[in-house]
Amino acid sequence: MNPALIVSVFIVASCGLAYELIMAALASYLLGDSILQFSSIIGVYMFAMGIGAHLTRYIKDKDALSRFIEIEILVGGIGGISALLLFVLFGFSAAPFRSILYGLVLVVGIVTGMELPLVMRVLNLRQVEFKEVVSRVLTFDYLGALAVSLLFPLILAPKLGMARSALLFGILNTVVALMTARLFKSSLTRYKRLCLRGNLVLMLLMGLFLYANQITMKAEKHYFGDPVVFQTASPYQRLVITKWHDDTRLFINGNLQFSSVDEARYHEALVLPVMEQNPTVSNILVLGGGDGLAAREILKYPQVKKITLVDLDAAMTKVFRSSAHLRQLNNNALNHPKLQIINADAAQWLEKNQQKYDVIIIDFPDPSNFSLGKLYSVPMYRMVARHLNPHGNIVVQSTSPYFAPNAFWCIVTTLETAGFKTLPYHVYVPSFGEWGYVMANTDGKFTIPDYYRVPTRFLDADSTKAMFAFPKDMARRNVEPNHLNTQKLVEYFEADWRIAMR
């Protein structure tokens, strides 16, 4: 059996799975709901591969080799530009994005599904025993799938990003086509034409690979409105920072996390009321908050001796520790000697760690998918309770009680189901509208501050009093708690925002 064709099978399998992973990840970045996106895209892709495999029955044996080369060029071209095309389309107009996304998944899946049947036929026509063909081809197919499933999240996505990763695999597909054509030159009647097509596609893909970052930056500028000054794709999320005059904004997976114009309202409301519950607090835990803005507020209190900040994404904490402008926003909090950064999954870290804290501040992204929803669950909050000192307090960022009321009150109910007493409150942040928080402890003793022992930009006695009063249209709702098995919070969150966006 020709070793070159076996290597081709390995590369082909890697590329086929890569396009599937890239488009699913890109859809989850831009559309949210990662489980739905991955599930539906994998389903459509597998269905399309079945169509492609069926279509190969109409290819004559004498044409199998040339059709395989043509298919590789086609897969390389379409699959290679798929992510870049989706970025550009989403940046300039999100309206047709979903239709074009699934159209691309269908097309790439069909042509990918034609590859292995054609390889098997090419090998079989060269008098290779059928059982040998099947065992070798499928073995290297599965090995290729394993290789890319490990490389993609660990190296390719964080180092190259989605667009350049897809282009890289497109280049590999096209190289396979050209190598196969050269290897079987004597068997091909259209050798020069195939090489011309392959080289044109290869040059196009290599050119786009070189300029992919500039193209995506321009597309993101249209999508985010303001100039993009930083963007990266970590293994966990896509981070984009924009800046227009004095307004710096952070977006995670396309969702606004803060605007420097009004973030003081959000972070003072998150941190200061819970810090005022006990004037002697000294050991603080922050879960999330990798931008350092919550830590900035905590460090206003001189009695604080230690802050432990646990954030999953090292890319987030790195940029907010190193950028001069971002350090100015957080007062260089992430480089403060009192603060320790731990890049780890918060739930796993809590499970292994035995330390107890006076205050625990939970500042996770909104529960827009199941991986985030678990961080707002009954088991998570019970684990948090085990890390709280006697008479300690926690506070949880809890989405909007106005736009997502069922989700907000679900968080309250979940905390109470986990054994906490709760004190919900809210504040108006212009960038977000009404935003909610829940303070909680195990003894039910709360004090609404009428003054603050630290300087503030927003909070005072009157604004604080207003935070703890809920008007009729944000009144408590009868909702279920968020258990890991049901993840009702994600369901509430999606339904609430779907209604709010109408």
Element containing residue 393 per DSSP (H, E): strand 388-397
Note whether 259 and 431 are within 8 A (CB): yes
Note whether 108 and 190 are within 8 A (CB): no
What is the token pair recorded at 352?
């292994």
* Per-residue DSSP letter, 333: G
Which residues are CB-contacts of 265 (< 8 A; sequence separation ≥ 6)? Answer: 427, 428, 429, 430, 458
CA distance linking residue 438 with residue 459, whole number of Å: 17
Strand ranges in 184-305 using DSSP code E only, listed in sequence order: 228-233, 238-244, 247-252, 255-259, 283-288
- Token pair 């006076």: residue: 358
What is the token pair recorded at 225?
């409105």
CA distance linking residue 330 with residue 316, whole number of Å: 13
Tell me how far the alpha carbon of residue 376 is from its chain's centroid. Answer: 17
CA distance linking residue 317 with residue 189, whole number of Å: 58
CA distance linking residue 177 with residue 103, whole number of Å: 24
* Per-residue DSSP letter, 246: T
Residue 310 forms beta bridges with which residues? 287, 342
Residue 286 forms beta bridges with which residues? 309, 361
- Please report how the helices 64-92 and 157-183 are oriented relative to each other, as an axis angle in degrees rounded to 10: 150
Please indicate whether residue 363 is annotated as part of the active site. Answer: yes
| Closest C-alpha among 34, 41, 36 to residue 19 | 41
Which residues are CB-contacts of 256 (< 8 A; sequence separation ≥ 6)? Answer: 249, 250, 431, 432
Catalytic residue (one of 363, 443, 462, 496): 363
- Please report how the helices 97-113 and 115-125 are oriented relative to each other, as an axis angle in degrees rounded to 10: 10
Phi, psi (rounded to 5 degrees) for 453:
-85, 5
Which residues are CB-contacts of 469 (< 8 A; sequence separation ≥ 6)? Answer: none
| Closest C-alpha among 250, 236, 231, 234 to residue 291 | 250
CA distance linking residue 229 with residue 217, whole number of Å: 9
- Token pair 């049947």: residue: 117
Residues assigned a catalytic role = 363
